């Protein structure tokens, strides 16, 4: 006499549901299970009722899912929203470079100390070939090309419309993937450049406040960080 478990196993062998997966895309992503950059396949599935192993009737669709080529783990498609390690590093370098340019545009490029601090900050972020002359030239070209803002945006008035737009476009996509200490450190890098030749100017404060907002730091925390940067460690 068969047990209930044995009868259930027999039924599964006679009929069941099988999913057939089709590859609809591929690429590279950060695998949360492997903890690193891996290749992936984007899959969509078709469910079929099977009898004696033969697919007979359609039973709807499955997925889409993202399958890691290394460990085989299948994740929801929103796993692709997280940047790869390589992409994240590039985003961080671009963020430091843009914040540096905005602070220089707001505070001016006449101070050699400020330019030295700015160039060192950008090089520390991974852009090894950055020089004072390059930063000076970029800021001057942007100022001549776009001019100041129209009064509607304090940051645009402080550093120019082009850099104000660039700050938001570069920092907002980065902020969700950067822990709070990392966002604070990025703001402090800009603050130290501004303070290299003395206290903040009003324009520098406007730019740094905009940086804090784009990095999803609340105004009170941004103000505290800017004050803390003025105190020698």
Looking at residues 139-147, what average pLDDT do you find? Answer: 74
Shortest CA distance to 189 belongs to which of 212, 162, 166? 212
CATH architecture of 85-229: Orthogonal Bundle (1.10)
For residue 36, give the H/E element and its range.
strand 36-51
pLDDT of residue 230: 87
Q: Where residue 63 falls among pLDDT bands split at 50, 70, 90?
A: confident
Looking at residues 11-33, what average pLDDT do you find? Answer: 83
Give the SS3 label for residue 69.
Answer: coil
List the beta strands (DSSP E) in 53-189: 54-68, 74-75
Q: How big is the CA angle at 71 (ends 65 and 75), to the nearest 5 degrees?
A: 20
Question: Which range is least confidently modeled, 136-145, 169-178, 221-230?
Answer: 136-145
User: Which residues, including other chains, have CB under 8 Å from residue 95's CB and lie 6 or more apart?
Assistant: 170, 171, 174, 186
Q: Where residue 74 falls among pLDDT bands split at 50, 70, 90?
A: very high
Would you say residue 141 has pLDDT above 90?
Answer: no
Give the SS3 label for residue 38.
Answer: strand
Residue boundaries of the structural domains of the chain: 4-81, 85-229
Residue of 144 and 69 predicted with greater confidence: 69
| pLDDT tens figures, 186-200 | 999 999 999 999 999
Question: Which range is least confidently modeled, 63-67, 86-90, 173-177?
Answer: 63-67
pLDDT of residue 57: 65
pLDDT of residue 1: 45
pTM over 0.85: no
User: Which residues, including other chains, have CB under 8 Å from residue 152's CB and lie 6 or more apart?
Assistant: none
Give the SS3 label for residue 186.
Answer: helix
Question: Which range is least confidently modeled, 46-60, 91-105, 187-201, 202-216?
Answer: 46-60
Q: Where residue 42 falls among pLDDT bands split at 50, 70, 90?
A: very high
């Amino acid at each position: 006499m068969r047990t209930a478990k044995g009868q259930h196993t027999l039924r599964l062998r006679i009929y069941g549901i099988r999913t057939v997966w089709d590859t609809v895309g591929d690429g590279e992503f950060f695998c949360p299970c492997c903890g690193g950059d891996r290749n992936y396949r984007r899959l969509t599935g078709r469910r079929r009722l099977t009898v004696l192993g033969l697919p007979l009737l359609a039973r709807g669709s499955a997925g889409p899912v993202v399958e890691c080529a290394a460990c085989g783990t299948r994740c929801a498609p929103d796993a692709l929203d997280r940047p790869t390690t390589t992409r994240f590093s590039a985003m961080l370098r671009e963020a430091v470079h843009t914040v540096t340019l905005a602070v220089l545009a707001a505070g001016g490029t006449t101070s050699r100390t400020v330019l030295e601090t700015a160039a060192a900050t950008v090089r520390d972020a991974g852009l090894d070939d950055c020089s004072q002359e390059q930063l000076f030239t970029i800021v001057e070209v942007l100022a001549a090309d776009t001019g100041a803002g129209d009064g509607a945006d304090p940051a645009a008035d402080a550093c120019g419309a082009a850099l104000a737009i660039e700050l938001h476009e570069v920092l907002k996509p980065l902020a969700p993937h950067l822990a709070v200490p990392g966002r604070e450190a990025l703001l402090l890098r800009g603050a130290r450049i501004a303070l290299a030749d003395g206290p903040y100017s009003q324009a520098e404060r406007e730019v740094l406040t905009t940086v804090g907002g784009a990095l999803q730091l609340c105004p009170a925390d941004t103000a505290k960080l800017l004050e803390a940067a003025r105190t020698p460690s």
